[in-house]
Structure 1
Amino acid sequence: MSDPEKSGAQEDRKTRLTVLVALAANLVIAVAKAIGGVIAGSPALLSEAAHSVADSLNEVFLLAALHRSRRPADRRHPFGYGKERFFWSLLAAVGIFVMGGCFSFFQGFEALTGPNTQESHSGYTAGLVVLGVALLAEGASLVRAVHQVRAQPGKGLGSDPALRTVLAEDSTAVLGVLLAAGGMVLHMVTGNVVWEGSASLAIGALLVYVAFGLGKSAREQLIGEAVDPELREGILDLLQSQPEIDYVAALHTMQLGMDSTLVAARVDLTPGIDSERLELVSERIKESIQKRWPEADQVFLDVVDIPQRVRE
């Protein structure tokens, strides 16, 4: 196993633990919220229960992504299965939208258009206790996710779609709990269900916004997103600095997975390089790129004769 693969496997183990922590927290919280929401008759609490169920299912998707994206390349998938990571992350975004956002909107509209009734304060007190416990659990999961992100210098928040999804879920879960609690408290104080209905709508809008952002990012990576512009410029500078390369006509990159990148360049070599030396030069340039950027594991050089008029 190469160094990038070993490093990637170690990061996956950390991310898997982060996902498992979030899954355990969401499963327990979903049950508690559902029971509390039924007892209290609270639309905001039921919206949060749907939110936690959606997050739990999404964590299962992310565990599948971590497992399947590490499968080795084969004949049908010569570049490996790295993009499985992006596919399952896209499904997680869809799950947040459908199960969380849509149900929250439904609960909100039902509360606003239905009779203005309020359950006993004891039921709402139990619901607020459930939300307090949920806030502690979601907060602990969020702290772990943030800690892992900060432990990855230079990679940034958007590097790992699985970790990014967990971080987004935990962040929205904390905000959702605060919105639900605020709506319930105002409902108790004023006796007006509009506060809870509004809280449910706000939770739905928050989930839809997060789902859109995660889905857009996963879509871009699935259809073939180029590497960071700074990395591309670095590869271009290295190619142009090679004494055997006279001109770089084109440079294309694509992220194939968490630690796999495709680099394809069309270059014109200096005159006088015979076919035997050409192969040695090409291999040396490829090794130079891979040594400096280990994630660039798929490097292809297309040697062509570029007319002078094209260069100008």
Structure 2
Amino acid sequence: MPHSHDPADAIDDAMRAHTEGVRALKISLAIMLATALTQAAVVALSGSVALLADTVHNFSDTLTAVPLWIAFALSRRVATRRYPYGLSRAEDLAGLFIVLMIALSAVVAASESIQRLFDPRSVSNLGWVIAAGVVGFAGNEIVAIYRIRVGRRIGSAALVADGVHARADGFTSLAVVVGGIGVLLGFPIADAIVGLLISIMIGVLLIGTVRSVGLRLLDGIEPELVDRAEHVLAHTARVDAVERVRLRWVGHRLRGDAIVSTRATTLIDADRLAIEAEHAVKQAMPNVDEMTVRVRSART
């Protein structure tokens, strides 16, 4: 299909991105819920604090998909005079909720683990505990692959980050397996120690998530995106120099503006150049919804 620069095509791209993003959230939520419920059943049978820590974390990960889903729904609201850019920034609020849930899961896991260190309890059904850890890893990895793949396709940094988060969580599930093996080998406090290690790993993940959410809240942008837009503009016909490029995330979509200089001799030529430059950026970066290009004369 030939590429079109009609504004309707940009709307279609945004709607397709929204639909794919919501589908990814629905499917991954179902997978993570099934994984967490399976692990919870084994926790009830075994009393493993390491598995409890991992289960609580997986439940929190399941819940974090809900505000992101709501944010995707709000992004479809029509812009108004009060909200002229729409409600796509609701995705940043969802990010704050995700940060709080990760922090809460780390606190719960750590408190339970410390309690078990001072008040050890026997862990039964170790085979099931190890199996549940493997299930946790498999569920997180499936979700990670799916979210990252869809996130990259639609240009959603939040969905990609959520996928990377799920992948890291899968390795905490493997820690449960290590704890279960430690108990089998005669180290009864291995379960509680691994629970603490999981809490620390969750805290490390929290640091990365805070940085990512903070970048969006402060209108930050990945420098490589600006570099790409500058490269496209610089290679647009009749553009002599790129004076400025600005981009900002609005949810999982991009808006921006630029100033370029040219030796075009008429206002009509300058207007055509601005349109061509805007279309070139949108074609090279499909997640850009709006790009306003201002043309200045390069004549001295």
TM range (shorter): 0.7 to 0.9
**Alignment of structure 1 residues 82-231 onto 2, 5 Å:** 82-98=88-104, 100-112=105-117, 114-115=118-119, 117-119=120-122, 124-125=124-125, 128-133=127-132, 135-136=134-135, 138-147=137-146, 149-150=148-149, 155=152, 159-169=156-166, 171-172=168-169, 174-190=170-186, 192-193=188-189, 195-227=190-222, 229=224, 231=225
CA–CA distance in structure 2, aligned partners of residues 302 and 185 of structure 1: 64
Q: TM-score scaled by structure 1? A: 0.76
- Alignment-derived partner of residue 71 in structure 1: 77
**Amino acid of the structure 2 residue aligned with 1:211:** L
Return closer, same or farther for 1:182/1:94 CA change in 2, 3 Å cut-off.
same
CA–CA distance in structure 1, aligned partners of residues 156 and 95 of structure 2: 13
**Offset, 1:304:** 4.9
Matched, 1:19 2:28: yes
CA–CA distance in structure 2, aligned partners of residues 92 and 285 of structure 1: 38
**Offset, 1:219:** 1.8
Q: Which has the larger radius of gyration?
A: 1
**Offset, 1:5:** 1.8
**Offset, 1:95:** 0.7
Aligned pairs, number? 291
Return closer, same or farther for 1:83/1:22 CA change in 2, 3 Å cut-off.
farther
CA–CA distance in structure 1, aligned partners of residues 98 and 70 of structure 2: 11
**Amino acid of the structure 1 residue aligned with 2:77:** R
Does the Cα contact within 8 Å between 1:25 and 1:141 map onto a contact in 2? no
Return closer, same or farther for 1:291/1:158 CA change in 2, 3 Å cut-off.
closer
Structure 1: where are the runs of 5+ without partners?
none
Q: Deviations over 1:43-97 (max 9, x none)?
A: 3233233223322322323322332333343323333333323431332132112
Q: Aligned match of 1:255 in 239, 246, 249?
A: 249
Matched, 1:267 2:263: no
Does the Cα contact within 8 Å between 1:179 and 1:199 map onto a contact in 2? yes
CA–CA distance in structure 2, aligned partners of residues 192 and 241 of structure 1: 65
Does the Cα contact within 8 Å between 1:94 and 1:215 map onto a contact in 2? no
Structure 2: where are the runs of 5+ without partners?
1-7
What is the identity percentage for the equivalent residue pairs of Structure 1 and Structure 2? 16
For the residue of structure 1 that corresponds to 2:288, the secondary structure is coil
Matched, 1:80 2:77: no
**Amino acid of the structure 1 residue aligned with 2:292:** F
Does the Cα contact within 8 Å between 2:172 and 2:198 map onto a contact in 1? yes
**Amino acid of the structure 1 residue aligned with 2:86:** G
**Amino acid of the structure 2 residue aligned with 1:201:** L
- Alignment-derived partner of residue 302 in structure 1: 294
CA–CA distance in structure 2, aligned partners of residues 184 and 238 of structure 1: 54
